[in-house]
Structure 1
């Protein structure tokens, strides 16, 4: 087993208000704690207040020096493709080449309606984005519709990790991605997906896993967090949350590493964000 990196989801606006911490402080805290990456999701509408992913990740990049800046996940298909490429290139440029670009095709159908994009076209539009983004980011001339598009400045292609645990996502990761990025699945499913990815891909791919939990004492236990996951996503989640001491969490993280994961990204279901980040950093060091 090789080295596995550990990332952390930056606090939501609600958690920032509750804990008295803003995005800049949180990003700097994660970097100082020794985390490998910080992450945010891409949401137009969720029913909860949220920041634009590009503006928020640019802010995180501006106040840090080392840590990777992760989009988990960016949805290019909901945007005009040239505009999506310009946003990605800008983030890669501003971060000094520290961007990790998770790409997904999901989101609530209401978000697609608000963006005036046909929800039924999300699959083909995602495939087109995966096919054309590398050339657009490299500053090459790309035919989009009836026009030739050439963006500047050109940037080094960031790692592109295809989100979701579905067979379609695994095929996309093998065909056009640098990695596979499922969330909320157990290590056994990671191992099965890794085996299928190895069958389809012409070279090794990164495997990153999104997970959640709460570490230490005085926070929600596994059953309560699992019930919240099941209610939100309609999945069986009894064994998914990572809870307990940093040592116990490190043991769980090692299960993902044994299954083939090269990166784990954790969001916190309870507890004060800074405290949770510090406990997760302890687990990372124990790896």
Structure 2
């Protein structure tokens, strides 16, 4: 099994003291020139550090590339009305030529609830609202008439090809959500043992829902700085069923991170 390598666009940062905000056009072009598999934008309204709007960043990346896939990593569905999120997704899928991947999450509590309050959205009910939105999303994106909150029937036009939905989260509730609604599951930096156990759980849940087992994407795997050793580590992940990894930025020098990812890809 060949593992795909993706990278984050320089749209945000885990460290408030070192914002990783860079040229979205240049970074997207470089990732495609290096033949990487996908580029991703994080999503939040108010985070613990500076962050760009994910949809605008992905639209910019799509406009300057032709082949590389673009992804929400991850979209906070519950932060938006479901129909509005679907409109953004459908339009991005349309303008990118069906290159979109939609990661979906409920939001990291580390960012607090300021963004949720600013959007007039319940932080405590974000899990329930995410489940509701996931049920509606395929029909809304495809342009099929859909009954949304309050019993209102809406049809979003034009519809688009429904992109792969990848549900993020490291707990059993997230894996259940992925099995019930998703095409994939996203997890952050698991050990091989944790990954093996989670993969078994995903298969059991998928059987229960009579759906295909979600493909696995790993964010920020712990990799050696030695190219050959990093390639071996990714091969180990692929052996337990990982389809894709998304490498996290190590600092403001995103170009160096992308070049490392490309070298590891060549060594696989």
TM-score, normalized by length of structure 1?
0.85
Residue equivalent to 1:60:
61
1:53-202 matches, cutoff 5 A:
53-107=54-108, 108-144=112-148, 145-201=150-206, 202=211
Residue equivalent to 2:245:
264
Deviation at 1:256, TM superposition (A): 1.4
Residue equivalent to 1:276:
257
Return 22-31 or 243-252, whichever deviates more. Answer: 243-252
1:188–1:259: 8 Å Cα contact kept in structure 2?
no
1:87-113 deviation line (CA, Å, top 9, x unaligned): 111111111100000001114322211
Deviation at 1:205, TM superposition (A): 2.0
Residue equivalent to 1:5:
4
2:212 and 2:48 map into 1 onto residues whose CA distance is 40
Unaligned runs of 5+ in 1: 213-240
Deviation at 1:46, TM superposition (A): 1.6
Residue equivalent to 1:47:
48
TM-score, normalized by length of structure 2?
0.91
1:161–1:179: 8 Å Cα contact kept in structure 2?
yes
Are 1:244 and 2:225 counterparts? yes
1:46-75 deviation line (CA, Å, top 9, x unaligned): 232211000000000000000000111001
2:92 and 2:247 map into 1 onto residues whose CA distance is 22
2:247 and 2:144 map into 1 onto residues whose CA distance is 36
1:26-58 deviation line (CA, Å, top 9, x unaligned): 000000001000011101112322110000000
Deviation at 1:168, TM superposition (A): 0.5
2:185–2:215: 8 Å Cα contact kept in structure 1?
yes
Deviation at 1:245, TM superposition (A): 1.7
2:107 and 2:180 map into 1 onto residues whose CA distance is 19
1:24 and 1:152 map into 2 onto residues whose CA distance is 28
1:39 and 1:138 map into 2 onto residues whose CA distance is 22
1:180–1:208: 8 Å Cα contact kept in structure 2?
yes
1:95-146 deviation line (CA, Å, top 9, x unaligned): 1100000001114322211111111211111001110100001111111123
Distance 1:139 1:12, change over 3 A: closer
SS at match of 1:208: strand
1:249 and 1:270 map into 2 onto residues whose CA distance is 19
Unaligned runs of 5+ in 2: 13-18
